Structures are given as C-alpha cells and as structure tokens.
Structure 1
C-alpha cells in the first residue's frame, strides 16, 4: 500500500516516505477523455476548460498526501498554507489520503475541489471524469515548471492537460558498501538467483514493482520488445512475473514502511534493494555504510500532480492553490519537507538546505530521462497492439501470486 508517513524529525534530512498503493482496476480504469466538469470555472471553453477566473470562493477542500499541505500545526516552522489563505481568502481544509485507492474513492464523492494524485491514480481519475482539464494559461507559475514534467502520460491525455506537477523522485538501488563488493552499477544484483546475498535482498512491496522487473527485462532481453514498462502485453507481462517469482527465492523481506527498510539496512539484515533518496539520506546521517545509485538500466519513479475536481465547488480557489504550490517559495518548502525534487527550478533558490536540489537531481533532466514515472497500467497499449495490455487489476492479482 502506498502511504505517506509524517516525519518525526527533520534533522537536516527528510524522513517522510511514500509507498505506492496496491489497488485494483477494472474497465473504468481505461484512459478516456475526462468528462468536462460542470462548475469547473467562471467561464467555459474547449473540453470544459476554464477561460477566466473570478474571486476566490472563501474555502478550498483538498485530498492530499501527508506532508503536502502544511499550515504550521504539525511544526510551527513548516507552513506554506497560511500565506496562501491570507492572500486569497481561501480557507484550506485538507483530508489526508493514505493510499491512491482511497484518494480515488474520496474524489468520486464530489466533496473535494482537488487532489495531489500519484501516477497510479491520475489516469483513473481522468478516465472516470472525476477531474477536469486545467487551463495552464491561468496558472502563471506553470510556465516555470520543468519541461520534463509537462505533458506526461500520467497528467496529460490527447494533448489535454489535467494538472500541475508537484515534485518528483526516482526509485534507487541501495547497497551496503562493506558487504556488497564489487560495488554494483546494475539492478542485476537484486535479480541474480545465484546471488551471494540471498536472503538479504529487499524489494518494494507493491504491484507497481512489476514495472521494475519489466525495466530490467527491457534492458537485458530486448527481444521481448518492451518499450513502456507500464504497457505490457501477455508475453511481456508473463516474463516480468516469472522474473519476480524467481526473485522471491532470494528476497529477505519486502518493504513498504520506510522505517523498516532503514532498520533492516542499519542492522545488516538487508544489503541491497530498492530505495528512495530520502531513505539513503537518513541512513547516511546515521553513518550507515550505504550508497544509493541510479543503475545503468535506469529506474522507475514518481511525479505527483495537483488535479482539479470536475465537481469542484471552489474552482477559483483551486486554481489559486495550483499556482501557489507551483510558486518558488511554496514549492521549495513543500518538496524539501517531504524529500523530493521540486517541480519549479526557481524553488532551488529558496530551499533551507542549499544542496537540496543537487541531492535530488532537481535540475538534471538527463538523470530524470532515465526514470519511468509511475503510471496506471491500462488495457490500451498505446500503440498498434490495441487493448491487449494488462491493466492494474491483473497486476494486483499477479503480485499476490508472486508473494505467495
């Protein structure tokens, strides 16, 4: 399950983590043009998109990951909401979504104006018509967002934009530098069934981890023809599942709680496996002998998107929020607190840790070109194969079988 945990201490590094929700899909999950949202704006345009905005409605109801909407109540020093409220008159109310599946359900209720959707939820929301197209011309700070985060499959459909990027990160390979020698540069260290580290390999506990197997196969078995690790036909999917079933024999434990991975590496129970930069930072701060790298095959990763409900009662306030969270200071505060790269390059001038953007490779597009952002698997392969790819419900079923 993907769950965001409240950080217990800053200590110069982020200690908040994210875990992708294992949630099923059905025919409704297929990507389709979102139904234009009634009341989405003070004016209407193509695809129900706003053409102009009016005054704020006085409040804003959000569904968000923990750590994405902080008003100082968690930590008086952590607040990028109060200034927004004073400036716009929009009182922010936030409901925390513990998983992507929960967020999708909450958004279907029509009670919320917007959501910070991850890639495994965004396409479902678009396809079901639960979110409306977004006119980025009405969001001044959008122009500064990294080009590498715009017009991506998880936030744009048929050239129509459905949200504003929040931040991004990569799933890295972490290893114990004292135990794993020579130092690996490939994911092969976690897939080799004859590995000398058998029983001390760790892997991410989620159906979306099937994409990691597909990514490795894409690099090592080109004859499978994998081009997109989230668009797998029967042959490709079967190969990925078979690889994961073989890997099961060398796995010590799967993890979804970041504290468990920290503990496992600190005690030496795990010596190699998937991680996030924020986890590596925590371990390094504690002098653990670890290193985290982006392997030569690349990696999977995430980019969350702020999306506007098609039933928003406070659409003007939501547009104002999307512009605010994309602004340099707010984006810097939110992504540094959470532990990820900001979506606005200007945010790098406002982080408390002046090395934050370097640590998270914020401005390194060549780095993120190697990252396949989490995207909801759907039946439509996105090419001339048609609707023969495995959707997320089949990923969930397979993951259950893999783990036994």
Structure 2
C-alpha cells in the first residue's frame, strides 16, 4: 500500500488525534509495571464460551477498518466470518472521549492509549486480561509485555498492539549541522527562531521534562510523567521560553508536512510516518531519535468491565494481533506491529525495518506516553505529583 493511500479518510482523523498511546520507561530500559495506585478488584475471564454474535468496538480511526473507507482495507470482515461476531465500530477522536464513552458500559473493547489506560483501569472501566486466552499473545515482542501502560502490579490489563516514537525532524538544507539533541527545539538558535514546531497536546510537557531530566540533573527527574511541583514548574518554564521560537503547534500531519515543505517549519517533533510522507512529497527532511531518547506511544487493546460479549472481545484481541491483521493495521496506520510474525505480511517489505519493529534497544530509548497522576509513577511516596488536569491547565497557559 502506498503512503498516499494510507492517509485517506479515517487516517486523517487518526493522525490528528493520536495524542494517545502509552506508558513509561526506565532510563536505558522499559519499565515493568509498578504503578502506585490499587485498581478496583475485578477478575479476568476464566475461559472462553460460545461467541455471543456481536462486538462493540471503540477504536482510534484506522484501527478497525471494515472496507467502508477503502474496499482494500478490511480486517473486520474476515474476523466476522471466522467468529460469527458482528462488529460495530465507534471511532473516537481523543483519549478523553474514549474514557468518557467507556464509562457508559456500552463497549466491549477499546484501543487505549497511554493518556487513557490508567484512567480506565483506575475507574474500573476495564478489567484484567487473561493472556492465556489470547494464543497470539505468546508471539508478541517481550519488551511490550507487562509494562506500565498495559499492566498494574504485575497484572495485565491489555494486549499490546503497535508502537512508535516521537522523533526530531529537520530540514537538511537549513539546519546545519544535523541535530542530534532536543536542544535543537528547546534552546535558542537565531537560524530557527520562529520556525520551530511542537506537538499540540498537554502530553508534550513530558518532552520538556525528558530534556530537563537529561540536562538538569539537579531537578532529579527520573520519569517525565512523574513531576512534583518544582519539576513541573521547570518543564512549564522551558516550554514558555520555547514559545518565542515556535512558529506552529501541530496536531494535523498534513499541516506539518506542508509547513516543512514550504520552509515555514524547519525543526520540531514528528512521527516516522510523517517524515516518510514529507520525503515522498519532495521535502528535504530527515528524522532522528535524539541522544536523550524520546517520548512515544504503545497502544493496547483492553476489555470493558461491563462487556456483554467477552468471548467475542477475546476473539478480537487475538485476531487484531494475529500476523496478517497486525501487519495490515501497522502498515495502514504507520507504526511498528506488536507481533514479529506480522513483518512477513506487510506489502512494503521494508516496513518493519523503517519502524524499528523488534529493535528492543531502540524501544528502550522511548518513554511511552502515560497519564500523569498524583501518585507519582516513579515510585515516590513522600510527595504528590501533578496530574493530567494540571498539565491541561498549564498547556493552555503555555500557548497563551
């Protein structure tokens, strides 16, 4: 499938609103689940029953395609034929919307992102997942399992689906020498003033926190999603300073591509898939994972606690990470698949290399998006950390 075809219809909505995806990492390595809060006592399904004949799916656009957007893009229909579970898909636009919709109890499964997953778990809206009932789970990359974005205190709450990093993109004809650090966007540079671009979301505060974690050790930041008042103030201060150099805050990949093509933006955050599109449209750009590492996403399929179709839900979880379906989603959406066997089924045989599938060393450099909560995700108990509501308020102030 060409990149052009990948970004039609629903994909635009997916990339505009993918401010979601998951978890945390320890320095030089992904963290195991160790979230401080205690979730409501819910049990995972013991055994599969007879498929109930229906499945209500809540998903990011591009994650549950049934051919209606493109007849050639359909992994829902084969699932329906194989299981007898008739799928009804509700597409959501933001993680806040997903959390709100899951509270209704109307949905059996959700493709949760990291700024939603902990809220869903803490609210009792999703339940633990019995991974033994998902045969394809055994094949998934080990570094995606039992992580802070899909597990709590060793209990799995979902099935890893796909992942990617937030990269540093720059115009090769303008930004010289080639940048290798996030200092390219956070420190003053006369040649890029007014032409820096940053991701338009409160979760971007974590990018600033990650940079400070690596450059200001006196702040003692050990997790960019676990910030006490002093650490949070430093990150917000850095972003307020950065604003003088920002020409645009982006959330629409098409606008970012256009800005880099025109030279209105010359350096800033991006995704690999956006860099690929920009290159195919003639922009002189490159994208790198900076020396400090980066934030990123790792999405998870979860089961609704009030689901009335749990056997169908488990059938879906297994289907969506099966080699062929996982390959279709990863290529259509523009991310690394969770199942290494998917790499044999991508139309573009270089897809898994491009998106670093199976590259654990690369993945260890990513701090996956996670919902900031008052109980510090870095394990501290002597202070309270700033929660997502504080991040949202601060983001409004940063943008002015």
Contact 1:245 1:402 in 2 (8 A): yes
Match of 1:108 in 2: 103
2:185 to 183, 190, 195: 190
1:398 to 394, 397, 400: 394
Contact 1:33 1:129 in 2 (8 A): no
Match of 1:3 in 2: none
Contact 1:34 1:130 in 2 (8 A): no
SS in 2 for 1:399: helix
SS in 1 for 2:5: coil
Give the CA deviation at 1:384.
3.2
Is the deviation greater in 386-395 or in 94-103? 386-395
Match of 1:43 in 2: none
SS in 1 for 2:343: helix
Label 1:281 to 1:56 Cα distance change in 2 as closer, same or farther (>3 A).
Answer: same
Match of 2:330 in 1: 335
After superposition, give the CA deviation of every residue in 1:135-157 in whole Å (9 maximum; x if it has no partner).
00110000111111111111111
Match of 2:248 in 1: 253
Contact 2:58 2:98 in 1 (8 A): yes
Give the CA deviation at 1:11.
8.5
Give the CA deviation at 1:93.
0.4
- Equivalence map 1:197-346=2 (5 Å): 197-346=192-341
Contact 1:378 1:392 in 2 (8 A): yes
> Quick one: distance in 2 between partners of 1:10 and 1:228?
34
After superposition, give the CA deviation of every residue in 1:138-196 in whole Å (9 maximum; x if it has no partner).
10000111111111111111111100111001000000000001111111010112442
> Quick one: distance in 2 between partners of 1:9 and 1:135?
36
- Equivalence map 1:19-30=2 (5 Å): 19-21=17-19
SS in 2 for 1:183: coil
Aligned length: 380
Give the CA deviation at 1:387.
5.0
After superposition, give the CA deviation of every residue in 1:69-117 in whole Å (9 maximum; x if it has no partner).
0111111111111111111000010000011011111100011101001
SS in 2 for 1:347: helix
> Quick one: distance in 2 between partners of 1:8 and 1:58?
35
Contact 2:17 2:93 in 1 (8 A): no
Q: Give the alignment's TM-score, normalised by structure 1.
A: 0.91
Label 1:271 to 1:351 Cα distance change in 2 as closer, same or farther (>3 A).
Answer: same
> Quick one: distance in 2 between partners of 1:11 and 1:340?
13
Match of 2:135 in 1: 140
2:74 to 69, 74, 79: 79
After superposition, give the CA deviation of every residue in 1:207-231 in whole Å (9 maximum; x if it has no partner).
0000000010011111111111100
Give the CA deviation at 1:32.
3.9
Label 1:109 to 1:11 Cα distance change in 2 as closer, same or farther (>3 A).
Answer: closer
SS in 1 for 2:6: coil
Match of 1:35 in 2: 40
Q: Does 1:384 align with 2:389?
A: no
SS in 1 for 2:98: helix
> Quick one: distance in 2 between partners of 1:33 and 1:317?
28
Unaligned residue ranges in structure 2 (runs of 5+) = 21-34
> Quick one: distance in 2 between partners of 1:32 and 1:381?
9
Give the CA deviation at 1:316.
0.4
Match of 2:43 in 1: 48
Label 1:182 to 1:285 Cα distance change in 2 as closer, same or farther (>3 A).
Answer: same
Match of 1:17 in 2: 15
Label 1:377 to 1:278 Cα distance change in 2 as closer, same or farther (>3 A).
Answer: same
